[in-house]
Structure 1
Amino acid sequence: MRIAVPIKDDSGLESEVCEHFGRARYFVFIDIEDGEVKGSEVVEVPFKDHEPGDLPAFIKEHGGKVVLAYGMGRRAIAYFNAMGIEVVTGASGRVNDLVEAFLRGTLKVDSNWRSKGDFGQHEF
């Protein structure tokens, strides 16, 4: 399984989750085998501006099967669902901690994340 996480900088597993999925400049892709982290790769988003569906396609092209994020617009979630990619929202903190909690089934998320941002609001 490959987990994708939007991050604030290019520090990989040591980075913090970028609060706004659509504004992340980097994603870390974490490879999981037998319930353990086997590797990770930081990838810079290849476009500054994006249309709906661009980031989900980017995640899919890089093999993402699960996305751990804080805030994300409804359309992005719908694109991921249509692609068969699991989305977990409300996740924040250091990537390594989030992934470990996700794998143990103990990940705590902020269920009120939608009220804290302008998720899904884009200027085109």
Structure 2
Amino acid sequence: MKIAVPVASQDGLNASMGDSFGRSTYFALVELDDKSVKFIENPARQEGSGAGIKAVQTIADAGVEAVVVPRLGPKAIQALKDAGITAFEFTGERLEGAIEAFQAGELSEFSPEGCGHSH
């Protein structure tokens, strides 16, 4: 299974979490079978609007099945759902913690009602 995590740096498992899904600098693509990590730039981060939706397309094209994120907007949640990608909430600071929490089944799924996004 492959997951995507928004990160602010490319520092391996020590990478700092990105503040937001659509505006993160990079995505860490994590292959859980062998714990390999590949970093890709988020081309949507500079968009004036619709960054979350464009970011979803980027990770969907990479074959991601789930995302682990600190927060999501309602449009990004819907775009992820439409792409068949499940979103999980993680508020820690490092990529390694996000991977461990995901694998341990400790994370809750996002829902459009509780999106963690201030309106």
TM-score, normalised relative to structure 2: 0.80
Deviation of the 1:108 alpha carbon: 7.5
Deviation of the 1:11 alpha carbon: 1.4
Q: How does 1:86-101 map to 2 (within 5 A)?
A: 86-101=86-101
Between the aligned partners of 1:79 and 1:99, the Cα distance in structure 2 is 22
Percentage of matched positions with identical amino acids: 26
Q: Is the 8 A contact 1:69 1:92 kept in 2?
A: no
Deviation of the 1:96 alpha carbon: 0.8
Aligned to 1:44: 41
Say yes or no: does 1:57 pair with 2:57: yes
Q: Is the 8 A contact 1:3 1:31 kept in 2?
A: yes
Deviation of the 1:62 alpha carbon: 1.0
Deviation of the 1:118 alpha carbon: 4.5
TM-score, normalised relative to structure 1: 0.78
Aligned to 2:70: 70
1:96 maps to a residue whose letter is E
Deviation of the 1:91 alpha carbon: 3.1
- Work out the number of aligned pairs and report it: 112
Aligned to 1:122: none
- Aligned-CA RMSD value: 2.3
| Structure 1: 5+ residue stretches without partners | 120-124
| Structure 2: 5+ residue stretches without partners | none
Aligned to 1:16: 16
